[in-house]
Structure 1
Amino acid sequence: MSDRSKKLGPRVTVSVTPGDYDTLNALADKDDVSVSWVIRRAIHEYLQRHYQPARPLRQPASERRPVAPERA
């Protein structure tokens, strides 16, 4: 495994429309970065906005232990 693949992780291949490709190139040129960097950043921002980790399932009430009443 190369140092680069260790740093970045697995590869993903995506096909885009010619118009989107031109727009990605324009954005990359404007900021003097690679198209790959723009796409990685876009994926990162999308995941930050939309990913919600799964919450642990609550145990059904019928399976919960009864709670002892509080003493005064």
Structure 2
Amino acid sequence: MPVMSERPKKLGPRVTVSVTPGDYDVLNKLAERDDVSVSWVIRRAIQEYLRRHRSSSVDMRKAPVKHPSAPQRA
């Protein structure tokens, strides 16, 4: 089980996202179950997502990938 005191003292840039009430409830229950913050759960989910989508043949820093399903900014 993760321990809150093991987190880095200084984190990088902040990101603000909105989630559905149902997703927030699930995130909150997961956080309570593991005795961590919702932010910790979200950071871990981002880390896992990025790990799954990294490719040694693509340098993610060079060219952003646009996904048709991603919402477009106005």
TM-score (norm 1): 0.64
Structure of greater Rg: 1
Q: Give TM-score scaled by structure 2 length.
A: 0.62
Q: CA-atom RMSD, angstroms?
A: 1.5
Please identify which structure carries the higher helix content: 1
Listed as ranges, the gaps of 5+ residues in structure 1 are 1-5, 56-72
Query: 2:30: which partner in 1?
Result: 27
Question: Aligned match of 2:48 in 40, 45, 49?
Answer: 45
Gaps of 5+ in 2: 1-8, 60-74
* Higher-RCO chain (CA-CA 8 Å, sequence separation at least 6): 2
Q: CA deviation at 1:7?
A: 1.7
Q: Which runs of 4+ in 1 moved over 3 A?
A: none
**What is the CA-CA distance between 1:51 and the residue it aligns to?**
1.8
